[in-house]
């Protein structure tokens, strides 16, 4: 009977897990991150926060332009974006 040391078994287990993770992982981890971010944006942010994030990051508007468009003070836009980023970070910190 062949004796396999515990270290060899553990090493084989780790190799098997690494292969399984490569096979089951999406082809592009950036796609997974984008999907998680999109889900988090829909679930944890208010409609106003979602709107401002879209204007700022997706459309490339400045805070001043967003403030003028939404008839708000620039500092309100700045604070709202900061709160949105904090909420997203709190939701996604374990998946990053």
Q: pTM of the prediction?
A: 0.62
Q: What is the DSSP letter of 19?
A: H
- Position 89 scores a pLDDT of 86
Any residues with CB less than 8 A from the CB of 42 and at least 6 apart, and which?
50
- Position 39 scores a pLDDT of 80
- Do the beta carbons of residue 87 and residue 49 sit within 8 Å? yes
Q: 19-70: per-residue pLDDT in tens?
A: 555 555 555 777 777 777 778 788 888 999 999 999 998 899 999 999 999 9
- Position 4 scores a pLDDT of 45
Between 13 and 44, where is the model more confident?
Answer: 44
Q: Is the pLDDT of residue 11 over 70?
A: no
- Do the beta carbons of residue 67 and residue 78 sit within 8 Å? no
């Amino acid at each position: 009977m062949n004796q396999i040391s515990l270290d060899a078994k553990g090493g084989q287990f780790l190799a098997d897990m690494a292969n399984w993770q490569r096979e089951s992982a999406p082809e592009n981890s950036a796609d997974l991150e984008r999907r998680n971010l999109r889900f988090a944006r829909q679930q944890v942010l208010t409609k106003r926060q979602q709107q401002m994030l879209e204007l700022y990051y997706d459309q490339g508007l400045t805070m001043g332009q967003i403030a003028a468009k939404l008839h708000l003070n620039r500092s309100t836009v700045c604070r709202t974006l900061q709160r949105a980023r904090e909420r997203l970070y709190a939701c996604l910190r374990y998946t990053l």
